[in-house]
Amino acid sequence: MSAGRMPTELGAVNADASYDEINDYFYERGWTDGLPIVPPTEERVRAMLGGMPSRDADELIAVVPPKMGQATMRQIAVNAVMAGAKPEYLPVIVAALQAVSEPEYGLSHRQTTTHAGAPLIIVNGPIAQRLRVNSGRGVFGPGWRANATIGRALRLVLVNIGGAGPLVDASQTGHPGKYTYCIAEYEAANPWEPLHVERGFRRDESVVTVVNAEAPHSMTENIQTDPDEIIRTFASCMATLGVNNLYSQGHPVLVMGVEHAQHIAAAGWSKRDVQQALFERARQPWGLAKNRGKSKGPRFPEFVDRNDDDSMVPIVRAPEDLILIVAGGAGGKSMFLPTAGGQSLSVSKRVEER
């Protein structure tokens, strides 16, 4: 198939084109993430749209900055095919796009910022198990089609429809989550209420929460089992002088390992107790923070006394602002995911199921 018969804009391609031709053509035009894509033939796009039969192919789901591209169901389906997703993943992809399109997420700035954040998709509810979205061992790693392709589909939408390719994305370093960043909460191993229930959804509802997060940072505590000592370790790792959340708070993420959660819950601590303890302890004195890091705001805490160098600055404005989920395999490790701060807040959306 000659280049002249290829689409001039991203869309379905002729099935007669060779795999290599299509991939080379798409790559040259910046329509990929650098990895090979599944050619979005008309047949594959129709099958993908079958994942949400209640939606019309021309229905507009979002307008994606900075290009302000029209993310119709068909365009989302094209990118989902390219990512290697299954049709049954489409409702999660659509919900994730709707979430990042809410004003609180601040997508326009996230698409062009120098910060190394990427949209982390957290899946809760029955759909996580039905689609086999990994929540256990290797939760941030490879090997799971749902995790890999749901996150990748959202990224391709942001690049191809929103225009946030390498010439627009100003991130100084980026991180691997810009290829794909999707996990589920390990609800069966969670001794507390899962994230979506904490946020007001029913346990039997399927929900995605999207937060623009940095790469996960491992917090090792293989020795201490007392909740106070585990929290001491966490607080030390989370309130570092270079983390954006110390200067503009926001909704950072604690992905607590199963063993840490079990130790803490067995001592009678609730989820809110953990959030409260980290709100109080994950801090630095104003005297150290005031001339470092990044600008303060837009939601810098009013209760920090800027005339007192000993006044302590927290990484969240309130305990409930710390996103706490349980995930991962066996071992004494939890993960901390800093965010950009108050410029980009997390958003939860219910997944539209058949």
Convert the pLDDT of each residue in 34-52 to its tens digit: 999 999 999 999 999 999 9
**Confidence category of residue 7, pLDDT binned at 50, 70, 90:** low
Whether residue 146 sits in one domain with residue 15: yes
Whether residue 237 sits in one domain with residue 175: no
Whether residue 272 sits in one domain with residue 201: no
Whether residue 249 sits in one domain with residue 129: no
Whether residue 350 sits in one domain with residue 297: no
Which residues, 6+ apart, have CB-to-CB distance to 21 below 8 Å?
1, 6
Cα–Cα dist 249/299, whole Å = 7
Collapsing DSSP states into helix, strand and coil, what is residue 163? coil
Which residues, 6+ apart, have CB-to-CB distance to 301 below 8 Å?
249, 313, 314, 317
pLDDT of residue 299: 83
Whether residue 196 sits in one domain with residue 295: no
Is there a contact between 293 and 246 (Cβ–Cβ < 8 Å)? yes
Q: How many domains does the chain have?
A: 2
Helices (H), 140-192: 145-160
Q: Please state the rounded mean pLDDT for residues 214-242.
A: 97
Whether residue 219 sits in one domain with residue 91: no
pLDDT at 275 over 80: yes
**Confidence category of residue 16, pLDDT binned at 50, 70, 90:** confident
Q: What is the pLDDT of residues 74-96, one digit of tens each?
A: 999 999 999 999 999 999 999 99
pLDDT at 123 over 60: yes
Whether residue 30 sits in one domain with residue 172: yes
pLDDT of residue 308: 98
Whether residue 75 sits in one domain with residue 46: yes
Query: Phi and psi of 106, rounded to 5°?
Result: 70, 50
Q: How many CB atoms lie within 10 A of CB 332?
A: 17
Whether residue 144 sits in one domain with residue 35: yes
Amino acid at 192: W
Cα–Cα dist 149/161, whole Å = 17
Q: Please state the rounded mean pLDDT for residues 103-131.
A: 96
Domain that holds residue 306: 215-338
pLDDT at 15 over 80: no
Cα–Cα dist 124/195, whole Å = 7
Angle at 251 between CA 250 and CA 253, to 5 degrees: 140
Q: What is the pLDDT of residues 321-337, one digit of tens each?
A: 999 999 999 999 999 99
Whether residue 168 sits in one domain with residue 307: no
Give the long-range contacts of residues 266-272, CB within 8 A, separation 24 or more.
Answer: 267/226, 267/227, 269/227, 270/192, 271/192, 271/193, 271/198, 271/324, 272/319, 272/320
Q: How many CB atoms lie within 10 A of CB 300?
A: 16
Model confidence, pTM: 0.96
Whether residue 190 sits in one domain with residue 52: yes
